Structure formats: structure tokens, C-alpha cells
Amino acid sequence: MKKIQLLNKIAACGTDVFDKAEYEVGAEVKSPDAILVRSAVMHDMEFGAELRAIGRAGAGVNNIPIERCTEQGIVVFNTPGANANGVKELTIAALILASRNVIGGIEWVNTLKGSEGIAKAVETGKGAYVGHELHGKKLGVVGLGAIGGLVANAADALGMQVIGCDPYITVNAAWALSTAVKKAASYEEIYQEADYITLHVPSTKETKGMICKKTLDMMKDGVRIVNLARADLVNAADMKEALASGKVAAYITDFPTEETVGAPGIVNIPHLGASTYESEDHCAVMAAKQVADYLENGNILNSVNFPNVSMPRAGVQRICVLHRNVPNVLSRVTSLVSAEGINIENMSNGSRGEEAYTILDVSRPVSEETAKVFAKIEGVRRVTLL
């Protein structure tokens, strides 16, 4: 029986993906074959030799030690796009909050409780909360993936002029964009032209601190910035300085920190981007299906540390080899199979940077001796026979 450990509460529609006759699923599971996680931090966890996969019910994986997982032959999955609609909708709300002091107005109205003539007081005092419309303003979308693309299209539908930039945009993401979305040649072009800027990129060495004094200085005076991606994309100290000077009119973030909470001009949302029942369900089901397919068939889809490789079952046994992307690994594996007089019915291979993955369906099981030799080949991370 395969074991699935839950580090966070996972929606039942996700855990129901696992056949109860074949899987043990729960928070107390020991020596798991796979782990499902949302936000739990895993960097200090020890992983047993049995662990083959980690499924992140969400897009970001900064809570998972990716490099260590790769070295141990543990495939890490995420669920890109599963929560995209929920984040898109909150981004539109954030753009409105950046434009109009709705929160300040609501807080002021609450101070009127118990006083007479509230309706008159509201009409007299509402002038302090006049804001701006989104229609006709220029929105710069940094990152045009599953979420950024939806935001760009929604903003266009609201009548905004939209420019976007994504050096790594996929063909499918490009096809999904409205033709009205203008392609920016660089992030700098967005910084210089946009009235509003919204961030939809992962936290990487290249993107951490991308919004800082240098880039803020490039922007229009009174720019409004939305960050529902990751806290460390924005240098908080530089942002507060820009808000104090008026360079930035408003900053909306979904990642409150000690530096941002209570700071003038910053609206802190309590990480609600994907906090919809629909998003949680979609992420849970997607993560569970990907993990189950890998454990049962060796197929990889939406891994962040190994290439996507999958194929229908064709042989009596399936040999799954996670290995470094170096010469001779694949030839040595196939030679060992051929040496036993076993026919390779089907094979698929893929690479991603320094890592690679190979699936072989063979006509009959390889011997135990050959299976042991597979794991000793230089560059091999893990071998699994299914």
C-alpha cells in the first residue's frame, strides 16, 4: 500500500483521488511515498529513502528544498493555473483598492456610529475619499503566465490600456492573450510607461527585489503597484520611501510583513490570492492526480525540478530513471536491458537543464541484479520499477 502524508489540510476532493484500497492518506502517515503540502515549510525536514514525490497544492515552491529533493531523486510537482482565476479576481479588486480609498472610507463611516444625521455626514465627508477610475489608464503586467495573462485580459475588458512583458512566455500563454495587449520589450518599458503595475512572476534570483529604488525611479510619479506574487519581489524599505515622497501613490500587497503592516499608503491583504473554495479544490485535485500518476505510472507533469515526460503503458514492466543530463547514462541503461535479451517496447526521454528523465516499457521484467546495477550508474538519481 502506498502512503501519502499530508502536511496541510488538503480538500477532500483531492485526497479522494487516491484509491482507499491502494493508498493510506493522512497527516500521521509515516515513511511516505509522497507528500502533499500547501504552505508548510519543509526545509528542515528529513526525507526517507521511500519518498518519491512532493505535490504542492499551489504554484509557489519556496517552502520546499528543491535542490535537495533533486539530489535525492524526489520529484516536486506544483499546480500552475489551478488557482489562477481566484488570484486574477483579487488582483482586479486590488487595482480598485489602489485607485479608490474604499478601505479608508469604510473605516471613517464606522466612526459615525451612534451619531445623528449619518446620511448628511456621509454626503458632506465623502469628498475626502475621491479616487480614480481604471478606465483609460495604462496597466503594466509583469509576467504573463497563467495568472498574469488572465489579469491582462480582464483589465483590457475594463477599458485599461494593457502592456505586458514576460521573457519566458509559452506559446499557449501567448495565444490566450487578447490581441489588444501590447508587448513590452522589457520590464523597464513597463516601469517607464505604466500608471499601474501588477506583478505576476515567481521569486527567483533574478526577480527578488526587482521593485527597488532603481526601478521605482524609472516610474511615473503617482504610480500604483499591486503585488500578489511574492513579498520579496519588492524592497519594502525603498517602497516606503517612495510612498512617503509621493513617487508611489499606493501599494497593495498580499504578503504582509513587519515592514509593511501599518505603513502609510500600503494596503496589506492577508494572503488571500488563492483563498477561494474553488481554488483550493482545483489545486488539491490537480496535485493529487499528478502525484498518483507518477507513483502508479511514472508519468511526470508540472514538475519544477525534473522534465515533463509521460507515455501510455505498453510493456510488462516500466523502468523509470531520474538522472543527470550527461552523456552515456541512457545508452548504459538500454544496453543493460538489451544484454538480458529484453525488448524495449516503448521509450520516452526528456531533459530540463542539468536533469533528465527516461521511461522504458520492456517486454518482461529485468533481473534483480540488473536493477541494482541501474542505480549504480554514474549520474543516476533514482531508478523505480513499476
Positive/negative CA dihedral, 10, 15, 16, 17: positive
Rounded to whole angstroms, the Cα distance separating 56 from 77 reads: 6
**How many angstroms separate the Cα of 109 from the Cα of each of 82, 103, 112, 252, 333?**
38, 10, 5, 22, 72
Q: What angle do CA 317, 320, 321 make, to 5 degrees?
A: 140
3-state secondary structure of 196: strand
Rounded to whole angstroms, the Cα distance separating 223 from 191 reads: 9
Give catalytic status of residue 52 as yes or no: no
**Choice among 100, 132, 271, 313 that is catalytic:** 271
**Choice among 259, 296, 313, 352 that is catalytic:** 259
State the Cα torsion 214-216-217-219 to the nearest 10°: 140
Rounded to whole angstroms, the Cα distance separating 127 from 171 reads: 47
**How many angstroms separate the Cα of 43 from the Cα of each of 5, 39, 66, 247, 327?**
16, 12, 9, 38, 32
Residue 95 near residue 198, CB atoms below 8 Å = yes
**Residue 196: partners with Cβ closer than 8 Å, 6 or more residues away:** 95, 98, 134, 137, 138, 139, 140, 160, 223, 224, 225, 226
Residue 362 near residue 344, CB atoms below 8 Å = yes
Give catalytic status of residue 313 as yes or no: no
Number of helices and strands (H, E) in the chain? 13, 16
Residue 227 near residue 233, CB atoms below 8 Å = yes
Q: What does the block give as the cell for 363?
A: 517486454
Rounded to whole angstroms, the Cα distance separating 306 from 384 reads: 15
Rounded to whole angstroms, the Cα distance separating 138 from 150 reads: 16
Give catalytic status of residue 24 as yes or no: no
Active site residues per annotation: 230, 259, 271
